Amino acid sequence: MLRLGRSCGKRFGEMNTLNLPVRPRRLRKSAAVRALVVETILTPAHLVQPLFIVEGSEPEAVSSLPGIFRLPLCRLAAYCAQLESLGIGGVAVFPKTDSALKTADGREALNPSALVLRAIGEIKSSVPALPIFSDIALDPYTTHGHDGLLDAAGGDVDNDATVAVLSEMAVLHARAGADFVAPSDMMDGRVKAIRAALDADGLSSTGIMAYSAKYASAYYGPFRDAVGSTRAPDAPPISKATYQLNVANRRESLRELRLDEAEGADILMVKPAGPCLDIIRDARENTTLPVAAYQVSGEYAQLLAAEKLGWLDLRATRDESLAAIRRAGADIILTYFAEAWARDR
């Protein structure tokens, strides 16, 4: 018969204390210690709230962006005052243009009484200390949905003709009170041209936040719904691949970032933020300028959709996503979560 003797080993789970002079967990042992050594700090001042503007007297819900509304001019002052009281770093203004005003050449963009110009003036007069970032691109004004004017053949965007219009547009926005004009079109040379136009008009104090590394991303859909540039279901899709960056490319973004800095940009932006954390880090390591990142509409919408299905904790994933963008190197984050995050902190 086999007899079992006394065990010569230790019971499961028993062992001598490890001789470890370095124990990283010492810096994680309590909430107070973790707060003491935190590396990435996010405050409301780092965040910019995008605003969608519409004619009329009542806010309009954006179905693909739960919790986000298109605001009429009469609601802007009160809402922006709330954002300022929360310490939000600024607002980025985007108009929904009446379809009757849209044309192939986007001429409404140069209307001195355009909705966006009245919105900028309203915000600046009511909340003068709140920085305003004003979008400079033609897609809210064109029937074809491109960010610029089409060439004679109608198959591609005419770079130089578009830059001429964008320069005029930037001057109008700066005169209305924008602190920063933000060309999001990705045309070659537009930062240089806009800087020259602003300076020639005596607007040298107006800054330029360039969408320097803006990718041809699939995450922009809800934004197009919000500004009314979504294509009709029976309309053929349009491609912006000749001017927005290829999502597979990394080195190409550095070229764009360096060009915009050389042409006079004051802030460089990467868009979208979450899928481009590596690009944000590249930007941070290759410039001394402030780096902005846009957590775009699709990033926002997917978190709310997952929360609605009970798959994710919205607040936890929201906070993690913003921390990751900041950790990657963004000084400024444009996000639809700005107001909610500031209220929850």
Lowest mean pLDDT across 94-103, 112-121, 220-229, 323-332:
220-229
Q: What is the token pair recorded at 214?
A: 């803006």
Q: Which range has the worst mean pLDDT, 1-10, 205-214, 294-303? A: 1-10
Q: What is the mean pLDDT of the chain?
A: 94
Specify the pLDDT at position 3.
59
The structure tokens listed for 142 are 């064109």
The model's pLDDT over 188-200, given as tens digits with 9 standing for 90+, comes to 999 999 999 999 9
Instruction: Inform me whether the pLDDT recorded for 13 exceeds 70.
Output: no
AA letter at 17: T
Amino acid at 22: V
In sequence order, the 6+-apart residues with CB closer than 8 A to the CB of 149 are 105, 106, 138, 142, 157, 158, 161, 162, 165
Nearest C-alpha neighbor of 133 from the set 190, 75, 90: 90
pLDDT tens digits, 42-62: 999 999 999 999 999 999 999
Written in H, E and C, the secondary structure of the chain is CCCCCCCCCCCCCCCCCCCCCCCHHHHHCCHHHHHHCCCCCCCHHHEEEEEEECCCCCCEECCCCCCCEEECHHHHHHHHHHHHHCCCCEEEEEECCCHHHCECCCHHHHCCCCHHHHHHHHHHHHCCCCCEEEEECCCCCECCCCCCCECCCCCCECHHHHHHHHHHHHHHHHHHCCCEEEECCCCCCHHHHHHHHHHHCCCCCCEEEEEEEEECCHHHHHHHHHHCCCCCCCCCCCCCCCCCECCCCCHHHHHHHHHHHHHCCCEEEEECCHHHHHHHHHHHHHCCCCEEEEECHHHHHHHHHHHHCCCCCHHHHHHHHHHHHHHHCCCEEEECCHHHHHHHC
pTM, two decimals, is 0.93
Catalytic residue among 192, 214, 240, 308: 214
Res 154: pLDDT = 79
pLDDT at 107 over 60: yes
**96 annotated active-site:** no
Decide if 214 is catalytic: yes
Q: Which is nearest to 289 in space by CA: 159, 191, 162?
A: 191
For residue range 159-181, what is the model confidence (pLDDT) as tens digits?
999 999 999 999 999 999 999 99
The full length of the chain comes to 345
CB 89, CB 95: distance < 8 Å: no
8 A C-beta contact, residue 185 and residue 148: yes
**Can you tell me the mean pLDDT for 20-42?**
96
Token look-up 């902190």 returns: 345
Residue 275, exposed/middle/buried by CB under 10 A (0-12, 13-18, 19+)? middle
Which sequence spans correspond to the domains of the chain?
41-344
Between CA 25 and CA 34 the distance in angstroms is 10
The residue behind tokens 């899709």 is 237
Catalytic residue among 96, 124, 240, 271: 271
Domain 41-344 has CATH 3.20.20.70: yes
Between the alpha carbon of residue 283 and those of residues 6, 89, 252, the distances in Å are 65, 21, 12
